């Protein structure tokens, strides 16, 4: 009996003919790839790289498009460089399980150095950190990210902005200690014009 040409979905157990499957490679699919990886992890399937041969079924494809559309309609949705890692449950560098979370200061430091947003749940082994609890400088270039629509939960955003404000105020290039008031940052958190405001801070810090 002739073998039919069947492809397996990257996310779910579906195995279907090629005409019912959708490719994942390509810059235009960055959002889809990030969501597909998350869903694969959620289905407790082993991590594999996305390549030319990777396909998802039409049903998973429709569902991901719905998720992207919903994200983009959410007024709290931002387009950010978001850290990608093999598993959200393990160390961001070596995948060791059961490590403590990175501090907010360490996440702010990564954001300022690499323009990568590291979600609150991300963990790291102690030996990847320096005396300040920041990720070692030599590890920063190796961090991977995807630019995608992302919603930072309100409380997480507020804490992050508070630490960003502290960093901005500690920086010697800022003339006035109260240049960024609590009210300023409160309004940033409320208005959600996060990226614009953050780039304003960059412009002031690194002018």
Chain contacts with Zn ion (rule: CB under 5 A)? 9, 11-12, 14, 57, 60, 91, 93-94, 96, 125
Q: Give the nearer residue to Zn ion in terms of CB position, either 102 or 164.
A: 102
Q: Are 195 and 161 in contact (CB under 8 A)?
A: no
Rounded to 5°, the CA angle 89-93-94 comes to 75
Q: How far is the CB of 187 from Zn ion (least distance, A)?
A: 38
Q: How far is the CB of 125 from Zn ion (least distance, A)?
A: 3
Q: Give the nearer residue to Zn ion in terms of CB position, either 126 or 203.
A: 126
The closest alpha carbon to 155, from 123, 105, 201, 119, belongs to 119
Q: Give the nearer residue to Zn ion in terms of CB position, either 63 or 81.
A: 63
Q: Give the nearer residue to Zn ion in terms of CB position, either 14 or 24.
A: 14
Q: Give the nearer residue to Zn ion in terms of CB position, either 40 or 192.
A: 40
Q: How far is the CB of 87 from Zn ion (least distance, A)?
A: 12
Q: How far is the CB of 192 from Zn ion (least distance, A)?
A: 33
Q: Give the nearer residue to Zn ion in terms of CB position, either 45 or 155.
A: 45
Residue 55 and residue 47: Cα distance in Å, rounded? 15
Residue 131 and residue 124: Cα distance in Å, rounded? 14
Three-class DSSP labels, 44-111 = CCCCCCCCCCCEEEHHHHHHHHHHHHHHHHCCCEEEEEEEECCCCCEECCCCCECCCECCHHHHHHHH
Residue 43 tokens, joined: 């289905």
Please give the helix or strand (H or E) that residue 21 lies within, else none: strand 21-23
Q: How far is the CB of 57 from Zn ion (least distance, A)?
A: 3
Q: Is residue 144 exposed (0-12), middle (13-18) or buried (19+ Cβ within 10 Å)?
A: exposed
Q: How far is the CB of 148 from Zn ion (least distance, A)?
A: 20
């Amino acid at each position: 009996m002739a073998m039919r040409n069947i492809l397996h979905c990257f996310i779910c157990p579906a195995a279907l003919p090629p005409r019912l499957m959708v490719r994942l490679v390509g810059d235009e699919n960055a959002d889809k790839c990030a969501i597909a990886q998350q869903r694969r992890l959620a289905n407790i399937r082993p991590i594999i790289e996305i390549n030319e041969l990777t396909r998802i079924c039409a049903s998973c494809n429709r569902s991901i498009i719905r998720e992207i559309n919903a994200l983009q309609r959410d007024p709290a949705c931002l387009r950010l460089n978001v850290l990608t890692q093999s598993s959200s449950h393990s160390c961001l560098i070596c995948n060791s399980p059961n490590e403590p979370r990175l501090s907010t200061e360490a996440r702010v430091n990564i954001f300022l150095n690499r323009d990568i947003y590291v979600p609150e749940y991300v963990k790291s082994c102690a030996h990847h950190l320096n005396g300040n609890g920041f990720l070692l400088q030599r590890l920063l270039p190796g961090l991977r990210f995807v630019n995608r629509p992302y919603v930072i939960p309100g409380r997480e955003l507020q804490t992050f902005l508070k630490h960003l404000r502290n960093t901005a105020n500690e920086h010697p290039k800022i003339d006035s200690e109260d240049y960024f008031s609590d009210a300023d940052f409160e309004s940033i958190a409320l208005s959600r014009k996060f990226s614009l405001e953050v780039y304003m801070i960059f412009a002031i810090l690194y002018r």
